[in-house]
Each structure stands twice: as C-alpha cells, then as structure tokens.
Amino acid sequence: MVNPLKEGDKAPLFSLPDQDGELISSKEFKDQRILLYFYPKAMTPGCTVQACNLRDSADDFKKYNVVVIGISTDKPEKLSRFVDKELLNFTLLSDEDHKTCDAFGVWGEKEFMGKTYDGIHRISFLIDKDGKIEKVFDDFKTANHHTIVLDYLKNNS
C-alpha cells in the first residue's frame, strides 16, 4: 500500500541525474510550479502515451508557468533513449534507488498479471512556487493525464 504525500505537504527536495547524467536539483526551479510525474517504466506503451501527450501540451504548461519533470527508476541511458525516440521536450530524472519515490510516497507493492512486486505507482504532484504540494493527481489514465492536469490549471490559476 502506498501513502502519497497530500495537498499542503512540503515537497521533499531532490537531486537526481537526468537523461544526460547531469544532476538536477529541485532547488533549480524556485519560483516555478512543477508537475512532478512518477511513471513506472520508460518506453512501455502506457508511459509512452503519457509522455507524448505531455510533450504535445508543452505550450499549454508554459502558459501556466509549469515545468514538467518525469521520474522513474530507469537508468539515465534508458531515459536518454526514451527522450530521443519520442522527441520529449522535458526533463526525465533517474531515481534508481527509489529514495525520491519513497519520499513522495509513490513506491510500494503493485500487482500485474497475477504477480506482486514493488514499484512506482503512477501519481503526479503539482508543486507550487513555495515548494508545497498544491494538487495530487492519482486518478487518471495514461491517455488523459495531461487533460486532467491542464483542466485543473485552467480553473486554478
């Protein structure tokens, strides 16, 4: 069972390697809102649909001064291939030891095709300019994730 952070909680600081192996810190996004989306695995069908829809909505997110960042436990090399293959226009971070996933409460037991294992639950956090969690998105499909987030931004900006 996962226990994700809630709206109003202070977002944990993080510093993780991006798709190019460069260390990216959450402190670099001061005074910006961040859509931090956790996804299970790069280059899988659902994660690709989700990422491509976010890519195609980049201008809309910019309008609301929201930076999109994806986090998975994939190695930076795999993230780099994912970015190149899908022409992604946002940062992907590698959380191989799942410490950041743990800090946000998205790492835990999952079930897939009768198997139980630990992994990332597909949950997104909108972090406000002050580093607090403004909104938690945990009820969406990979195909409509971007729409649900943008609808929220439209009505709360």
* Candidate list 16, 24, 47, 126, residue with the active-site label: 47
Whether 47 is catalytic is: yes
Tell me which residue of 107, 131, 152, 100 sits closest to 8, measured CA to CA: 131
Tell me which residue of 20, 1, 61 sits closest to 37, measured CA to CA: 61
Q: Count CB-CB contacts under 10 A for residue 30.
A: 9
Distance, CA of 48 to CA of 37 (rounded, Å): 13
Q: For residue 78, what are its two tokens?
A: 């795999």
Active site positions, annotated? 47
